[in-house]
Amino acid sequence: MTSTFARISLAAALLLSAAALAQTDSAASPLPPAPSASTPAITNPGGVKVGTINLEQAIFATNEGQRDFDALSKKLEPKQNELKGKNDELEGLKKQLNTQGDKLNDQARSTLVKQIEQKQKSLDRDVQDARDDAQSQQNEIAQRILQKLGPMLVKYASDNKFGVILDTSNPWPNGPVIWADPSSVDITKTIVDAYNAQSGVAPPPRPAAAAKPPATTPARPAGQTTTPSTK
């Protein structure tokens, strides 16, 4: 699923509360050790160690996120199919108006136009309701994961002496980061790996590999093209 849920407005508040939790929770499960030469980090001239994380990407990348968003997608399929059916019906009426409108008498044409308008308004409402419902359920999943991921992120930053962690979910100019080298400062994968290790949720099954074509194919007669016959 591409990133479709709204930017998480509670992220800052959750991380602030997570900071307090990280300071008092001495029994928390250990996170990755202090940085080594391969740990992504950068220190500015003032001595503050800076890191970045794409929170939105992290939420989707966790095993739990992949599992729950995939389940939600399957749950929403019947509604999507219903809306597609209504849209196909509406498009059929529009096509009928375009192709036969000039052949209809005034009353028949007026009735068809009114029917199209009513169905369009009904479809627009249904689509908006479905979008709002999907948005709400997506946000519920995202915020549930973020509530658990936030304390882990704060503890990791504290243990590894980061002075600043910036969220790169929202690209510049809407977000604070103009540019950052992921290989130098990004800790998204580190946090996702730590989250997966503590969550106990197994990785989602990979799609079955596509069937391999036969080792050999019959030779094509000379001059024969690959264009299908229209007969």
Q: What is the pLDDT of residues 73-110, one digit of tens each?
A: 999 999 999 999 999 999 999 999 999 888 889 999 99
Q: Give percent of the chain above pLDDT 70.
A: 70
Print the domain residue range for 96: 11-26+38-199
Name the average pLDDT for the chain.
Answer: 78
Whether 5 is in a domain gets the answer no
Whole-number Å distance between alpha carbons of 40 and 186: 6
- State yes or no: pLDDT of 28 exceeds 50: no
Whether 156 is in a domain gets the answer yes
Instruction: Give the C-alpha distances (Å, rounded to integers) separating 181 from 44, 71, 166.
Output: 14, 33, 13
Closest CA to 68 of 79, 60, 80: 60
Whole-number Å distance between alpha carbons of 23 and 26: 8
Whether 19 is in a domain gets the answer yes
Whether 218 is in a domain gets the answer no
Residues 132-186: tens digit of each pLDDT: 999 999 999 999 999 999 999 999 999 999 999 999 999 888 888 888 888 888 9
Whether 72 is in a domain gets the answer yes
Whether 213 is in a domain gets the answer no
Whether 230 is in a domain gets the answer no
- Residue found under tokens 């992504």: 40
Whether 22 is in a domain gets the answer yes
Whole-number Å distance between alpha carbons of 62 and 204: 10
Structural domains in the chain (count):
1
What's the whole-model pTM score?
Answer: 0.68
